[in-house]
Chains A and B, each alone.
Chain A
Amino acid sequence: MAILEMTPDAEASPDLVGPVIRAGNLAEAVIEAVALDNPGSDVLVLDRDDYVRVHTLGTCRLTQASLQACLGQPCRLAELEIDMPSFRGRLKTRDDEYLWFYNQRGAGTPGDQR
């Protein structure tokens, strides 16, 4: 699957989950790591200059191993917080893996702007 630029329509998609990261090296590494950790999903990226949305559909997994590999230096997932002002979806955090998800795919109509 591919890393794709998020269109405005895709941004309104109800099932997107994943982190929002301050633009920079870490955001680049998170994009690549999310691609590695979610091989069956497209990674949708929305770059708003100051912050970057890195989302997949339904579930988004990020492991410490992939993040370290993509960052090219030792890094603990807990450090993600330093440059993560927000995230979309529910979150489960463990030492070596963060998981963003929804329990109910297709629930709600967040794109409903009538």
Chain B
Amino acid sequence: MPLNRDDWYDTSRDLEWTLSYVDPEVAFPTRWSGAQGIPAEAWQAWDEPFRVSYRDYVRIQREKEAGVKAVSNALLRSATYEKLDPAHVAASQLHMGTTCLVEHMAVTMQSRFCRFAPTPRWRNLGVFGMLDETRHTQLDMRFAHNLLRHDQRFDWTQKAFHTNEWGVLAVKNFFDDVMLNADCVEAALATSLTVEHGFTNIQFVALAADAMAAGDINWSNLLFSIQTDEARHAQQGFPTLAVLMEHDPERAQKALDVAFWRSTRLFQNLTGPAMDYYTPLDQRKMSFKEFMLEWIVNHHERVLEDYGLKKPWYWDDFLHSLENGHHAMHIGTWFWRPTLFWRPNAGVSKDERAWLNEKYPTWEENWGVLWDEIIRNVNDGSMEQTLPETLPSLCNLTQLPLGSAASRHDLAPHQLVYRGRLYHFDHAVSKWCFEQDPERYAGHQNIVDRFIDGQILPPDLTGGLAYMGITPEVMGEDVYDYAWAKDYAGTESD
């Protein structure tokens, strides 16, 4: 009688050598495993929630691939891309440029699990995670390659991470830290749990739902399929968390609190504007804040509390930032639009503004007045007043603009001096993150630091754009050519 998977699974996942010729610390250095302070036998309790065998993996992934490719091929023939709203297309370009190579970085992270994780069970699952992330990179490349004939901005799917574009540097800085620079335990907490169990749902399920409503079946289908892999391999984080909660709960809480804030800030940039401004009004499912409450607060945080973790100490700040941070990132990215490789939609026509005020009761007071100034300048023909002449000051932790974590009423300097250098932060919580491990962050120069250091020449916006690799063919411009401002012509918004 053939055996079921459950009959042999425990034997196969515990396959391991007992090291006799090599010191275990040499074979599995704690620098990479992250197992310092945790007794070796503790890892015997590591029990993956989502079981997977190689035979099942290949069979199921093959079916996923066949499904994605069939949809993609059919849609290429039906010329649906040409019918998409250009503002929505900008969301997919933003996603591809800032995400594809993150998937590729995740291959390296998963391969570290394969090699250095402190239990063979985890090393075994790392193999599947590595194959998953390879698949995601290739899916993104294939999707973008097919669309190059329509718009060369899709070239940034591969190119972006080889440039110094400021937003890409912010993304790269975070994932360099939590994927490439992290030991296995920390990567499991920051990436598997915080990013893959939490925040990628916002991008790959919630935004995918918006994309489907916008008619972008191909992209939506791709995002959705990727997240089915993420949902499985993200589960590597939970048994790791369980071991840590038993032996070093303070380390777990701190690592998750840092990763949660950094992820919040990053996704306010990646997903917030796409949902609340780029997705056409009649195709929006919910607001960014509503999706965050569903997926991050009710879905993600609750499981962490089941393991005995507390909500991050800055929870009130997080909720306040949820009302404001992505609106700040949006007006900032729109204003600095020449520095983008996609065409942003202002998204503040009268109807869109009514929606924003309904979803965010403080929007008018916090953001509407700033847009009024832009609208006046656009309608007066004073376009130079709507464009930047230099670069914004950036946070030395998140690499995002100072002042962009909350509203205009919350502006305050958050600074510290470390080893003789003055550091600036976009929020008190970002400063706290830096203080937890200053050596980790201290050496990095953000774009403005490089500007002051003389690395960007000529030292003006033109030099900055050249440094960032922005060329005229991809340079960001208002996607509707300011048509939305005509809503207010003659009457003005006030």
Contact = CB atoms under 8 A, between A and B. Distances in A.
Contacts of B212: 49-50
A50 B208 contact: yes
Contact of A81 (B232, B299, B303): B232
B285 A114 contact: no
Interface string A74-114: 00001101111111111111110000001110011011111
25 contacts: A12-B298, A14-B298, A49-B212, A50-B209, A50-B224, A79-B63, A81-B228, A81-B231, A82-B63, A82-B64, A82-B67, A84-B228, A85-B201, A85-B208, A85-B224, A86-B227, A86-B295, A87-B231, A91-B235, A93-B50, A93-B51, A110-B298, A110-B302, A114-B316, A114-B319
Contacts of B299: 86, 88, 110
Contacts of B56: 78
A28 interface: no
B-side interface mostly: helix
Size category of the B interface is 35 or more
B204 A11 contact: no
A34 B305 CA distance: 25
Nearest to B234: A86
Given A78-B60, A85-B204, A110 B297 contact: yes
Size category of the A interface is 35 or more
A20 B50 CA distance: 15
A22 interface: yes
A91 B297 contact: no
Interface string B31-71: 00000000000000000011110001000100110010000
A108 B306 contact: yes
A48 B232 contact: no
A89 B228 contact: no
A18 to B, nearest CB: 11
Nearest to B49: A91
A50 to B, nearest CB: 4
Contact of A50 (B50, B67, B220, B302): B220
Contacts of A114: 315-316, 319
Interface of A: 11-12, 14, 16, 20, 22, 48-51, 78-79, 81-95, 102-104, 107-108, 110-114
A45 B227 CA distance: 21
Nearest to B51: A93
B301 interface: yes
6 A-B pairs with the lowest CB-CB distances in the bound complex, closest first: A108-B305, A50-B209, A85-B227, A110-B302, A91-B49, A50-B212
A14 B300 CA distance: 11
Interface string B199-239: 00100110011001100000010001001101110010010
Contacts of A81: 60, 228, 231-232
A102 B49 contact: no
B141 interface: no
B293 interface: yes
A38 B228 CA distance: 25
Chain B CB count within 10 A is highest, among A50, A84, A92, A95, for: A50
Contacts of B494: none
B251 interface: no
B1 to A, nearest CB: 14
B69 to A, nearest CB: 14
Contact of B228 (A48, A85, A93, A113): A85
Given A79-B60, A103-B306, A111 B298 contact: yes
B231 A84 contact: yes
Interface string B315-338: 110010000000000000000000
B78 interface: no
B6 interface: yes
Contacts of B297: 110-113
Given A82-B67, A90-B49, A103-B306, 9 more contacts: A14-B302, A48-B209, A50-B212, A78-B52, A85-B201, A89-B303, A102-B306, A107-B305, A108-B301
A87 B205 CA distance: 11
B228 A94 contact: no
Contacts of A110: 297-299, 301-302, 305
B440 interface: no
B303 A50 contact: no
B319 A113 contact: yes
A83 B228 CA distance: 7
Interface in B268-313: 285, 293-295, 297-299, 301-303, 305-306, 311
Given A82-B60, A90-B49, A49 B298 contact: no
A86 B5 contact: no
B285 A49 contact: yes
A114 B205 CA distance: 25
A95 B4 contact: yes
A104 to B, nearest CB: 5
